[in-house]
Amino acid sequence: MPGQVWLIAGGPGESRASFYGILPTLRQAFPGFDLIVPDHRGTGFSPRMCPTEEAVGSPGGASLAGAEWGTCFQHLNQHPSHTRQFSQTNAAHDLKLLLERTPSKGKTYVYGVSYGTQLVLRTVALGARADGLVPDSLVPMQDDATADLSRRSLVTDRVGRGLLADCERRVSCGRHIGEPIEPLYRRVLAGAEQDPSLLANVPGKDLKRFFGALLDFPEAARQIPHMLKELDEGTDERLKKVVEEVQRKAATLGGFPQSPPPTPLVILISGSESDLQRGRTQETVQREEAGLLFTSSIPGHLVGNPIPLYERDDWFARLPERLPPTPVIHGTRDAKTPYDAAQRHSAALRKAGPVTLYTQQEGGHFVLWADRSCSTEEVMQFVLGADAPTRCVSVSSHD
């Protein structure tokens, strides 16, 4: 075996089970390597913040259900020192210890996706060593005030509007729609206010949030202009087919007993580490989102935290002093970890080591899952060496 690859899930809160559905892709990207998939602190089958209420055998399984919400949050508020044990830095210390104590023959690479890239970078900042890092969908720098979680709807809207503009620029798409798309979209939204049955088959009955979530699925997202045209004409057949396709695709990331994300951990890490606008209210979020075309649920979830957050420590927003070779793979239509923020972060990281940004054009979030064609071969070429074969070329940016 040439070595080992550690696979670090995103979230925060995703378990190692989120990789099970793409194991064939990962084996292709890291041929011959041992794949090590840990559950970092508080996720999957590792001890959770509320071990009784989040137990797989509890009434709600790994998810909180019914009275479990109250008893879990009551315990966390009464025991803030226990809550603070699940900080990002503590999880990074766990990962560093695992890397140091696990025997290895050959090279060691660490692949992280989304929040996992943030966790990996903090682990390296703490002094962990590896022969290379492979960040997939690199998070913004933690002090990037244009792209933290409180701005997620603004980011989502910008990416979504870019997709609509691309349709208008393409002759075939623009001609099929037959008019500017934003007025069409707003007409559909106004129609849905008058007749809510128009959104009967829209998950959550919120078109802006549904389309925002759809950006994670590039092929489905390209259907948004066409779905709008049909909704305006009073039909949703295309929309129903897209929902079915997306549900099948999303099912590849879960379905296991440990799959449900731990809500308390998501609240704790997101609020403590990634919210640069604490103190906002639901009214503030609603006013901000009123004029948007694409939104995310995240800003609303950050409001009114029901558990005590922890104070950011000295590692917050600190970049590693030294990095091994690091190819970042990122999609230009990533509505969760925006591409321009990844460019800024990559540029800052180059002060610590060789960092290359490989761009998946029109790619979405979690590139190896959403748009694996060329990115898989780029990763394989990196871990096997410059002479490894590749059938395609991604756009590489050093700026």
pLDDT in the model for residue 390:
53
Q: Count of alpha carbons within 13 Å of 63, Cβ hemisphere only?
A: 8
- What is the chain's pLDDT, residue by residue, as a tens digit (399 residues)? 589 999 999 999 999 999 999 999 999 999 999 999 999 899 999 999 999 999 999 999 999 999 999 999 999 999 999 999 999 999 999 999 999 999 888 999 999 999 999 999 999 999 999 999 999 999 999 999 999 999 999 999 999 999 999 999 999 999 999 999 999 999 999 999 999 999 999 999 999 999 999 999 999 999 999 999 999 999 999 999 999 999 999 988 888 999 988 999 999 999 999 999 999 999 999 999 999 999 999 999 999 989 999 999 999 999 999 999 999 999 999 999 999 999 999 999 999 999 999 998 899 999 999 876 678 888 988 888 865 555 444 444 444
Cα angle, residue 370 at apex, residues 366 and 374 outer, rounded to 5°? 95
pLDDT at 386: 61
Say what the pLDDT of residue 307 is: 93
Q: Give the per-residue pLDDT at 396.
A: 47
3-state secondary structure of 357: strand
Radius of gyration of the chain (CA): 21
3-state DSSP assignment of residue 318 = coil
Closest by CA position to 6, among listed 48, 35, 42: 35
3-state secondary structure of 331: strand
Contacts of 66 (CB under 8 A, 6+ apart): 59, 60
Q: Say what the pLDDT of residue 129 is.
A: 95
Measured CA to CA, the distance from residue 302 to residue 94 in angstroms comes to 26
Q: What is the model's pLDDT at position 389?
A: 52
Closest by CA position to 277, among listed 142, 115, 149: 149
Cβ atoms of 91 and 290 within 8 Å: the answer is no
Check residue 397 and give its pLDDT.
46
Question: What's the CATH architecture for 3-144+313-397?
Answer: 3-Layer(aba) Sandwich (3.40)
